[in-house]
Structure 1
Amino acid sequence: MTVFILVSEAHTGGWIWHDVAAQLRESGARACPVTLTGMGGGGAVAGPGTDLETHVEDVLRAVDAAGDAAEVVLVGHGYGIHPVAGAADRRPERVARVVHLDAGIPRDGDPALALVPDPAVGEQLRHTAGRPGDGGLVAPPGRDGWQRWGSLDGVAEEALARLARLAAPQPAGTLTQPLRLSGAGAGVPSTGVLCTANGSTLARVEALAGFGDPRLRALVDPRVTFFELATGHWPMLSAPAELAGVLLRAAAGEGYRLRGAEAELPPHLRPFLMDLPERPRERHGRVDLHLPDADGPRPAVVLVHGGPVPAGVRPTPRDWSCFTGYGRYLAGLGAVGAVVDHRLHGMADFARAADDIAEAVELVRGDPRVDGDRVALWFFSGGGLLAADWLAAPPAWLRCVAATYPVLAPLPNWGMVEARFRPAAALRTAGSLPVVLTRVGREAPDIAATVADFLSAAEGFGARVEVVDVPHGRHGFETLDPTDESRAAAARAAGSVLRHLGLVTS
């Protein structure tokens, strides 16, 4: 018999699985919702030594109680994946599969806090001792604060009220104690259940795997499967029947399997949509300069890639086809195309990436071949948030900001991003700075929503925004959709940027 051991998000207990457990039992499986120590009725009371190891032991007891004949499937939701991973590492021979339910992939030495999307948790921990065994407690969010832990899409008001009413304080040590893994559980089959309204999709996972980061190679293992659920971070409340069905299919080994790197070139390494001649390229620290055939100082366009891009990705973004392509194209039209390799590797890195960009801009403006009074910044994808600083206080030399398929507000599971990086709010003080925004028709709904909110804010503030539409284009259309429509849109966007720099293009 299959036994599902269900371990929930922070501040919650076994009660949250009520409807899912009932569905699983009706299908003939056993369901064992776990209330971890200190997490409410039915569980042990948290003492001063309650930490992540305590919660790992809670899950181990549930595994041992399942019986030797049972096929154990461990399900970890959000924070719950940490004690689940610890238990699977201790009992790999007893666990048939680990399900990451809208949860990350914790690694040896990671504290759970590293994957917590709510920055308010870190602030609370700074006001407690925050060390294992200190007895500190992190209060649950108020009724209106649960969205900081993940999208509430699909959660009814009654269920949200119950969530707020039954939530328990989280022992600080469970969030701060590093997870210890020996590697014994690495061979246990796993399934990722991606809640698309919370920003997790197969397309994004496949893109991450395609980056070549060695830490993500395990995702293309045939024992790893994936499912999508069209709901927010709390599917046990918003879609219990659908979640139960996915868990049963996961236990049977079903699900989508990622294609291996050998299947085809990943999108970011496919050819640029225009066949362009080589141009002189120089590397200066984090910046590549694509140089035009021209005498005298020329205007420059600084190209800012998206992210987060894992630190181990090779080649780095300045060598990706999209950015070498735009660099050559701009150089062919008489401008210096400057591509920055910034260090946006995680949600806590936006400030560091912003510093990298500011440093790169000064390097570019200081080059004698660049007219430092005619510079544009062009942001792509997740790099769109980095436009906020420049919109909020545009310097006189900044003639234009461009953004292509941008993310213009943190996505639902990007909670650690500083409030400073909000381009829509920054428009309030953008003045007459022109903005060229390229929008794709086949954008992910959560990203499209950030663009719509930005355009609404632009209208309210009277900002100068030109929209270039690619009706049939996808996110990354320059290498995914090499069509006449795409080429025309890229040319129009580049032409508009260069006109703002005082270059006339045909």
Structure 2
Amino acid sequence: MTAFVLVSGAWLGAWAWEDVAAELREAGHGAYPVTLSGLAEKRDLPAGQQTHVADIVAEVERLGAEDVVLVGHSYSGIPVGQAAERIGDRLRRVVFVDSAVPEHGASMASAWWQGQSAFESALAENDGYWIPLTAPEFAGQDLTDDQIARIVAGATPHPGATTTEPAVLTGSLADLPATYVKCLMDGEEPSPDVAELLKSDRWRLVEMDTGHWPMFSRPRELAGILLTETAGA
């Protein structure tokens, strides 16, 4: 039985994976959504980048599983990629779902499309937190009104230190067994750093014709991809 450790992106907690987790369990596997420190029911806990890496590694240790698939969505691809290095031979595959990927010494803020200073200014204006999107900002992402309402109602401000502290890698992500899931409504091409990693024969690309939050818009399809990509991986 494969243990799928599911980690949400910014603002979200374990609750965001409920529909995907149900599909994985129905298929006979273990599904373990993680809430990272500083978010959702753990919103009162202090958190930095390495706190989130430790959260993920601690969940793998708690499970005692030897056949682990780490799944990171959006922001959480950064701590998930680091955690994938740290769990060693227990890693079956790491799946990045329309996510950022870590670069040693860099942070999410340093790669922000509007520039690091703009991102950090926004954090400073909100007491050091990254404020969740509002309902209109989810338009065009293949989400129903009910799905958008569910995300907005459950979202919590994201601790800014997790986005500004640098990633720590000991090797190359290209050496990890990995799949990158690109959600086409959020841009048709992977970012340049991901495109470079996809040149590795250990990486695979899968495309989904949906928006940036496929655990809500296409949970059954996403679960199917996770199962297919890790079967015999």
What TM-score does the superposition give when structure 2 sets the normalisation length? 0.89
Kept in 1: contact 2:79–2:102 (CA 8 A): no
SS of alignment partner, residue 100 of structure 2 = coil
Higher RCO structure, 1 or 2 (CA under 8 Å, sep 6+): 2
- Paired with 2:201 and 2:39, the residues of 1 have a C-alpha distance of 35
- Paired with 2:151 and 2:112, the residues of 1 have a C-alpha distance of 18
Q: Which residue of 2 aligns with 1:140?
A: 132
Kindly tell me: are residues 26 and 73 of structure 1, through their superposed partners in 2, closer, same or farther at Cα, counting changes over 3 Å?
same
Aligned residues: 231
Aligned partner (choices 155, 172, 183) of residue 171 of structure 2: 183
Kept in 2: contact 1:4–1:32 (CA 8 A): yes
Q: Which residue of 2 aligns with 1:362?
A: none
For the pair shown, which has the larger CA radius of gyration, 1 or 2? 1
SS of alignment partner, residue 136 of structure 2 = coil
Write the letter of the residue equivalent to 2:45. A
Matches within 5 A, 1:336-351: none
Kindly tell me: are residues 25 and 128 of structure 1, through their superposed partners in 2, closer, same or farther at Cα, counting changes over 3 Å?
same
CA RMSD of aligned residues (A): 2.5
- Paired with 2:197 and 2:216, the residues of 1 have a C-alpha distance of 30
Write the letter of the residue equivalent to 2:72. G
Kept in 2: contact 1:104–1:115 (CA 8 A): no
SS of alignment partner, residue 106 of structure 1 = coil
The structure carrying a bigger helix percent of its residues is 2
Write out per-residue CA displacement over residues 10-68 of structure 1, whole angstroms, 9 at most, x where no aligned residue.
01111111100000110111111110011112x36223xx2111111110111112224
- Paired with 2:61 and 2:143, the residues of 1 have a C-alpha distance of 33
Kindly tell me: are residues 96 and 115 of structure 1, through their superposed partners in 2, closer, same or farther at Cα, counting changes over 3 Å?
farther
Q: Which residue of 2 aligns with 1:90?
A: 86
SS of alignment partner, residue 37 of structure 1 = coil
Q: Which residue of 1 aligns with 2:184?
A: 196
Per-residue deviation at 1:199? 1.1
Kept in 2: contact 1:46–1:171 (CA 8 A): no
- Paired with 1:92 and 1:187, the residues of 2 have a C-alpha distance of 12
- Paired with 2:143 and 2:113, the residues of 1 have a C-alpha distance of 19
Write the letter of the residue equivalent to 1:85. G
- Calculate percent identity across the aligned residue pairs: 39
Kept in 1: contact 2:174–2:200 (CA 8 A): no
Kindly tell me: are residues 117 and 233 of structure 1, through their superposed partners in 2, closer, same or farther at Cα, counting changes over 3 Å?
farther
Write out per-residue CA displacement over residues 390-429 of structure 1, whole angstroms, 9 at most, x where no aligned residue.
xxxxxxxxxxxxxxxxxxxxxxxxxxxxxxxxxxxxxxxx
Please say if 1:221 is aligned against 2:217: no
Kindly tell me: are residues 160 and 117 of structure 1, through their superposed partners in 2, closer, same or farther at Cα, counting changes over 3 Å?
farther
Per-residue deviation at 1:80? 0.6
What TM-score does the superposition give when structure 1 sets the normalisation length? 0.43
Kept in 2: contact 1:23–1:244 (CA 8 A): yes
Q: Which runs of 5+ in 1 are unaligned?
A: 130-135, 255-506
Per-residue deviation at 1:153? 2.2
Kept in 1: contact 2:198–2:205 (CA 8 A): no
- Paired with 1:109 and 1:115, the residues of 2 have a C-alpha distance of 11
Write the letter of the residue equivalent to 1:46. L
Q: Which residue of 2 aligns with 1:45?
A: 44
- Paired with 1:200 and 1:146, the residues of 2 have a C-alpha distance of 17
Per-residue deviation at 1:128? 5.8
- Paired with 1:249 and 1:146, the residues of 2 have a C-alpha distance of 28
Q: Which residue of 1 aligns with 2:146?
A: 158
Write the letter of the residue equivalent to 1:16. A
Write the letter of the residue equivalent to 1:140. P
Matches within 5 A, 1:206-245: 218-245=197-224
Kindly tell me: are residues 19 and 115 of structure 1, through their superposed partners in 2, closer, same or farther at Cα, counting changes over 3 Å?
farther
- Paired with 1:180 and 1:230, the residues of 2 have a C-alpha distance of 32
SS of alignment partner, residue 105 of structure 1 = coil
- Paired with 1:4 and 1:237, the residues of 2 have a C-alpha distance of 17
Matches within 5 A, 1:56-455: 56-68=53-65, 70-116=66-112, 121-127=119-125, 136-146=128-138, 152-183=140-171, 186-201=174-189, 218-252=197-231
Write the letter of the residue equivalent to 2:8. S
Kindly tell me: are residues 105 and 137 of structure 1, through their superposed partners in 2, closer, same or farther at Cα, counting changes over 3 Å?
closer
- Paired with 1:114 and 1:252, the residues of 2 have a C-alpha distance of 35
Per-residue deviation at 1:138? 2.4
Per-residue deviation at 1:8? 0.9
Kindly tell me: are residues 161 and 44 of structure 1, through their superposed partners in 2, closer, same or farther at Cα, counting changes over 3 Å?
closer
- Paired with 2:111 and 2:12, the residues of 1 have a C-alpha distance of 17
Write out per-residue CA displacement over residues 60-83 of structure 1, whole angstroms, 9 at most, x where no aligned residue.
111112224x31011111101011
